[in-house]
Amino acid sequence: MKITDITPDEYAPYQSAYINLVDPTYSLTEELEVSVHNLIHFVREIPMDKYDYRYAEGKWTIKDIIQHLIDTERIFVYRALRFARADETELPGFDETSYGNVAHGDARSINDLLTEMSALRHATIMMFKSFNEDDLSKKGTASGYTVSVRAFGFLLIGHQNHHIKIFKERYL
């Protein structure tokens, strides 16, 4: 299954910005793997003095954003698992700013962050590989919107690509 198989009724309207940033070349699990390798390679090429840079007062550092990607992936994967297992509980949203303010990403080393991101993504890939087509097409409600299991996988990729774009535009 590729991003071109996703329909607008599988994600919140505001999430289309992330969906549109996913490369249609690869399947979901292929793109989950390719994208994390791209992220790690890209971040390792950033000059070390930029990891703690803030382009404006109150903005996150590159390390904070990587921590944000980790936190968001954990939440989206949890949601995808619950929906794949036919849990019909409506799941609340989360305030990424509040999470970021107490996550201490900027206090961590870039190596620790990238190692955690890699390990987390590996587990994410294994989970998505374990789902059959029926599991992937299941839907639930999160943050007040209907979202499919497969959309969560593509949203992880698009969200990551969004932040790489922000790195290029505002940090480098």
Query: What is the SS3 string spanning 88-119?
Result: CCCECCCCHHHHHHHCCHHHCCHHHHHHHHHH
C-alpha span between 131 and 164 (Å, rounded): 28
The mean pLDDT value for 149-170 works out to 98
Tens-place pLDDT, residues 10-35: 999 999 999 999 999 999 999 999 99
In our burial notation (b when 16+ CB lie closer than 10 A, e otherwise), range 30-65 reads ebbbebbebbbeebeebeeeebeeeeeeeebbbbbb
DSSP 70: H
Go through the domains of the chain in sequence order and give each one's CATH number. Answer: 3-171 (1.20.120.450)
Tens-place pLDDT, residues 104-150: 999 999 999 999 999 999 999 999 999 999 999 999 999 999 999 99
Beta pairing partners, 146: 141
Tens-place pLDDT, residues 62-110: 999 999 999 999 999 999 999 999 999 999 999 999 999 999 999 999 9
Tens-place pLDDT, residues 41-70: 999 999 999 999 999 999 999 999 999 999
Q: What is the pLDDT of residue 108?
A: 97
Structure tokens at 51: 């990891």
The pTM of this model reads 0.96
Q: Are the CB atoms for 129 and 139 separated by under 8 Å?
A: no
